[in-house]
Structure formats: C-alpha cells, structure tokens
Amino acid sequence: MSKFSRLHYFLFMCLLALTSTFAVFGQDTKASILRPPAGNKIAVVVFEDLECPQCSRTQPVVDEAKKEYKIPVIIYDFPLPQHQWSYEGALMAHYFRSKSTKTNNLEAAFRDYIYQNQPAITAQNLRGYAEKFAQQHKVTLPFAIDPTGKFAAEIKADKDKAALVAVNHTPTVYVVTTNPAQPYTEVTDTGTLFQTIDGAMEKLK
C-alpha cells in the first residue's frame, strides 16, 4: 500500500470512528428518556394506548397531578397489537398535535375525548368520533391524515423508546426527576401517584 493510500485509509478510519461516536451520543437511552424536559426538575412520563381501559382510568389522575403540582406530563404512544383501533387513534392524536398551539392543546383535548368515549368506540366508528371532535374545535380532518408518514414515524419513535425502557404493558407511568440518586420511579398503582410525586419532590430539596 502506498503512502498516499495509507493516508487515505487512515483518514477514512478516523472519519468512521468520529461518525460512530456522534451516532452513539445521538441515540436514546433509558436515562435520556426517563428525565424531565429541560428547565424542569420533575415530570410524569406515561406510555399509553388509547384503546386500553386502564389507561382511560389513569388519565384523569395524571391530569389532576399535572394541575395540582404544575408539572409537565410527557405522553408516548404504545399501541398494543391486540387492539383494533389504538394505532389509528394514535395517528389522529399526532395529527391534532400538529394543529395545537400554546393556548389550545388539541392533542390533549383529543386524548381526553377518546378516553371519555372509549367504551363506545370501535374500529368502524373511530373516524366519525374524530370528525365530530374536529368540527367542535373548528379544525379540518383530512381524508388522509398522514400522507407523508410523519405521524407514523413519530409513533415508531415512541415505540422505540418504549423498547429501550422495557415497557410491556399500558399504562406504564414514571415519575422522573433530576435527582441523580433516584432519577425515576415507576408508579405501578395509580393511587400512589401523588405520594410518589411528594416523595420525589422532597428528595429534590
């Protein structure tokens, strides 16, 4: 191998190593997923399925905690394969997210609306419920809500995060903090959510 070729080979290997390093740093980890948004010391992270009955019972408790403690809630979609319409419902939620504003969180309102009507929703009438919601909020619901695959990619990213966290059921709820000694706690019983938040906040003092 000539000196010129060896130099190119060396530079190529350096570039490859540098690219690999950036790729590793850019990847999600359990620690990077289970942490509060920037500027916050504590938050609640929820992996949910819009067709999951337990999720519909958990949502009001999480929403009450958000208002009571004035902390952010991060929602990730984890539609279960055995549910007929949860994936389509998640696509619609992401569509309404794209239409939300700082003063009008249509995504949150849509998720509340779906949970409230969940027992009556089927794969066949989900679209009708979504159209009614859109009309009430003066938003157009197009025939194809995800023509570019953007929302599908967002849901896949949510599911990839769930895999890294080892989520295997819904809802999976965490209280996450900036406390390095205990950055996250899974809340297996929704009835203990407020108690878990109180304990986490005490440790942040």
Domain boundaries along the sequence of the chain = 30-203
Return all residues near 17 (Cβ < 8 A) that are at least 6 apart: none
199, 42 Cβ separation under 8 angstroms: no
- pTM as predicted: 0.85
- Tell me if 91 sits within 8 A of 146, measured CB to CB: yes
Q: Considering the chain, what is the average pLDDT of its residues? A: 90
User: What was the pLDDT predicted at 9?
Assistant: 44
User: How far apart, in Å, do the first and last CA atoms of the chain sit?
Assistant: 63
Q: How many CB atoms lie within 10 A of CB 92?
A: 26
Among residues 59, 31, 20, the alpha carbon closest in space to that of 183 is found at: 31
The residues pairing with 186 across neighbouring beta strands, listed in sequence order, are: 174
Interval 149-200: pLDDT, tens? 999 999 999 999 999 999 999 999 999 999 999 999 999 999 999 999 999 9
What per-residue confidence (pLDDT) applies to 27?
A: 83
Give the pLDDT of the chain (205 residues) as one tens digit per residue: 554 455 454 444 444 344 333 334 458 999 999 999 999 999 999 999 999 999 999 999 999 999 999 999 999 999 999 999 999 999 999 999 999 998 999 999 999 999 999 999 999 999 999 999 999 999 999 999 999 999 999 999 999 999 999 999 999 999 999 999 999 999 999 999 999 999 999 999 8
CA dist., res. 155 & res. 168, Å (int)? 16
CATH-assigned architecture of domain 30-203: 3-Layer(aba) Sandwich (3.40)
